[in-house]
Structure 1
Amino acid sequence: MEIQNGIQNGDFNNLPDRHESSLIFLGTGCSSAVPNAMCLIKPSSPPCAVCSQSLSIPPERNPNYRCNTSLLIDYCPSDGKHNYIQIDVGKTFREQVLRWFTFHKIPQVDSIILTHEHADAVLGLDDIRAVQPFSPTNDIDPSPVYLSQFAMDSIAVKFPYLVQKKLKEGQEVRRVAQIDWRIIEEHCEKAFVASGLQFTPLPVMHGEDYVSLGFLFGQKSRVAYISDVSRFPSSTEHVISKTGAGQLDLLILDTLYKKGCHNTHLCFPQTLEAVKKLCPKRALLTGMTHEFDHHKDNEFLMEWFKREGIPIQLAHDGLRVPIEL
């Protein structure tokens, strides 16, 4: 129960051995992040307990302070060299770098993988230059970014200067992030390798009109990261279920609201049903709104675990999970 205890106690200080792999939750919040701005500029009566707490407790000691959902994989294979693989760079990416790269002593990003092209997954692309070597003339090795063709087409409109290959005649050189765009297929049978680690795309429905990607990775431990999902296609469900291709060691799964349902995300009741159906060895939840109170809801999940037999907790920003990959 090491992971559970670390979450329950809000312990940010148990750094792993420098020769092991780990997962670092850079963000565990929804697109608007937590605290919810409206709760602070136009408080309710009584005020929102989760959001008002953010004014009195520093974010690094407040597990209810949540940036956009994002994961950093610190992959350390047998040669002992660390490779840092970032999944999603949303609107709060720079804040996450300042807070958690410095805390966990992350020196660079080696690869980036994008789940989809929504704002909370890609609007930090401009800030990639902050974690690249400085060059006023952009004379540096570009960072590989893995994404679907659909996401690439959208990003080319949002960030044309990051996609442009050559300057137009008379155009000034400006310092921008240097990116090597690499297209991946939205198919469970089309694995790819990023910084030495193999990933299997997991297409999921993010609303019935939109496909987002989760990812399966790890050989010693099978980990699935699925941050934006409302429904699992049967092919994806097979790959990550105990009764299908085999039991996951860790499932990291979306849960937006505490009650009810939503058209583009799983909410708490549906998330718990999905965990029961997929039956991983353990699960961590991400993507929460301000409806979730970290400590109170983790107490509920401890009771759920006792009934259902699957260890499950809410993750929190800054959480580092040692794991064999």
Structure 2
Amino acid sequence: MAATVSVSGGSSSESALIFMGTGCSSAIPYPRCNASLLIDYCESHGNHRYILIDAGKTFRETVLRWFLHHQIPRIDSIVLTHEHADAVLGLDDVRSIQPVSPTNDIDPTPVYLTQHSMTSLETKFPYLVNKKLKEGQEIRRVAQFSWNIIAEDCNQPFFASGLKLTPLPVMHGEDYICLGFLFGDKSKVAYLSDVSRIPATTDYVISKSGAGQLDLLILDSLYKTGSNKFHLCLPQTLETVKMLCPKQALLIGMNHEFDHHQDNELLMEWSRREGILVQLAHDGLRVPINL
């Protein structure tokens, strides 16, 4: 079974997924990047829009490492899966890729997030959320955002920079709901970065036996063996892949136990046996796709 993803190249007239980071929340080793995905969305008239899923604590490093490499000129919108550090602590650094304006008179970058995440960010980043200056307070240059509340509901899709995304609520531990996202009309892609269990309503939306087969599933896989309360690990990840039955799956969120080349060879054996192509993603991976 031959791999169907490409790590480079591609036409300027096509969409692509660019993996800004594929490591776990603590990063591997500890200075490397968290899980993050950039959707390079090519609209029907050829215009490219850049939609970032999550801006975690190593966002600055991913910009330095991959934006020039992949010729990414800007970010048009940001979509947040949840409000943990590995998803939001890079928001302050977004100003480095916004136009320079000492008076902050620039078009704000739209951010799409749940009300729970919004409430958390009001505490974490009050200067990014509350734009009204107090009397005598001077203007400081900070990242400019417009905040858009989305529902934790598979039946309430939204649009970010022209791309339709459907929220996919999943459990990230039994006491916490995180969002994944389904997107793409011509090719269906589901992104689930932080998940320990997929509820039945979300399962239906992204399973072959439910609403229809995914072209690509991007899925959490923290440890090579064993289990974890807050993330799928490889044994559970592969069972989930079999259950959902996408055409192809790329795994993210791995810790340092994985050996990329050796484990991808083992996964190719699994893929030939099960008839579903599964591979480990890697930082900087570019996957051309028709959205």
TM-score range, shorter chain: over 0.9
Q: In the alignment, is the contact (CA less than 8 A) between 1:187 and 1:201 conserved in 2?
A: yes
Among 225, 229, 250, which residue is 1:284 paired with?
A: 250
Distance 2:263 2:150 in 1: 37
Residue 3 of structure 1 deviates from its aligned partner by 3.7
Residue of structure 2 equivalent to 1:310: 276
| Seq. identity, % | 70
Among 4, 13, 16, which residue is 1:19 paired with?
A: 13
Residue of structure 1 equivalent to 2:199: 233
Residue of structure 1 equivalent to 2:157: 191
Amino acid at match of 1:95: E
Residue 29 of structure 1 deviates from its aligned partner by 0.3
Among 108, 111, 114, which residue is 2:77 paired with?
A: 111
Residue of structure 2 equivalent to 1:265: 231
Residue of structure 2 equivalent to 1:33: 27
Residue of structure 2 equivalent to 1:203: 169
Q: In the alignment, is the contact (CA less than 8 A) between 1:36 and 1:290 conserved in 2?
A: no
Alignment pair present for 1:67 and 2:13: no
Deviations 1:220-259 (A, max 9, x none): 0000000000001100000000000000000000000111
Among 88, 102, 110, which residue is 2:54 paired with?
A: 88
Distance 1:18 1:3 in 2: 19
Deviations 1:78-128 (A, max 9, x none): 100000000000011010011100100000000000000000000000011
Amino acid at match of 2:153: H
Residue 36 of structure 1 deviates from its aligned partner by 3.8
Distance 1:2 1:32 in 2: 29
Distance 1:81 1:305 in 2: 36
What pairs with 1:242-253 in structure 2 (closer than 5 Å)? 242-253=208-219
Distance 1:30 1:3 in 2: 25
Distance 2:252 2:13 in 1: 27
Q: What secondary structure, in the 3-state scheme, does the structure 2 residue paired with 1:103 have?
A: coil
Among 213, 217, 221, which residue is 1:255 paired with?
A: 221
Distance 1:67 1:295 in 2: 19
Distance 2:77 2:159 in 1: 10
Residue 77 of structure 1 deviates from its aligned partner by 1.5
Distance 1:132 1:110 in 2: 10
Amino acid at match of 2:67: F
Residue 15 of structure 1 deviates from its aligned partner by 1.8
Deviations 1:148-188 (A, max 9, x none): 00000000000000001210001111000000000000000
Q: What secondary structure, in the 3-state scheme, does the structure 2 residue paired with 1:144 have?
A: strand
Distance 1:2 1:260 in 2: 27
Amino acid at match of 1:235: T
Residue 2 of structure 1 deviates from its aligned partner by 4.5
Residue 271 of structure 1 deviates from its aligned partner by 0.1
Q: In the alignment, is the contact (CA less than 8 A) between 2:3 and 2:277 conserved in 1?
A: no
Residue of structure 2 equivalent to 1:9: none
Distance 1:217 1:318 in 2: 21
Q: Which runs of 5+ in 1 are unaligned?
A: 7-11, 38-65
Q: Which runs of 5+ in 2 are unaligned?
A: none
Distance 2:149 2:255 in 1: 31
Distance 2:239 2:15 in 1: 30
Q: What secondary structure, in the 3-state scheme, does the structure 2 residue paired with 1:89 have?
A: coil
Residue 32 of structure 1 deviates from its aligned partner by 1.1
Q: What secondary structure, in the 3-state scheme, does the structure 2 residue paired with 1:104 have?
A: coil
Q: What secondary structure, in the 3-state scheme, does the structure 2 residue paired with 1:220 have?
A: coil
More strand by share: 2
Structure-2-length-normalised TM-score: 0.98
Amino acid at match of 1:16: G
Structure-1-length-normalised TM-score: 0.88
Q: Structure 1 segments of 4 or more deviating over 2 A?
A: 1-4
Distance 1:18 1:182 in 2: 30
Count residues with an aligned counterpart.
290
Residue of structure 1 equivalent to 2:90: 124
Alignment pair present for 1:324 and 2:290: yes
More helix by share: 1
